[in-house]
Structure 1
Amino acid sequence: MSARTLHQIQQEGLEVLVDKLGPDDAIRFLQIYEPGSGDWTKDRKKYLENDPDKIIKSIMERRKKVPAP
């Protein structure tokens, strides 16, 4: 399997949207889609915790607050 170009991936994606949603809803989806902005690689350091002990503690505290289904 050879690597596809970004243009080929874009074309295939549009075809899938039209096949699954139909032309009208595919257009509506594209009109509401917002790709976002910023650099997640840099920004994630501000938002994600790197200390595994703190992550586990946070998960355990959340589990106490919300009962399991």
Structure 2
Amino acid sequence: MSVCRNFTIEEIRYKGLKALADSLGPVGMVKFLQQFEHGEGDYTKDRRQVLENYTIEEIAAGIKTARKKEGQLPFNKKGGDSPSA
């Protein structure tokens, strides 16, 4: 156990999540945290408002651009956009 001191909020968050992940594993950690994350608002309504000004082609292009920046590969090697089953 570490010596008691004044941790920053970021340190507390990191150490807490690490302790949960070490103890429960990643899936258990998420299940534990979901008990306290109730959210608020109407996700579907909010999502529609955010996306209403974009076409599916624009959204797909944005995803491709973000993946290239992050070094992620597309779903399949033939250049298609849909995940292979």
TM-score range, shorter chain: 0.3 to 0.5
The one of the two structures with greater contact order (alpha-carbon pairs below 8 A, sep at least 6) is: 1
Q: Which has the higher helix share?
A: 1
Q: TM-score of the superposition, structure 1-length normalised?
A: 0.44
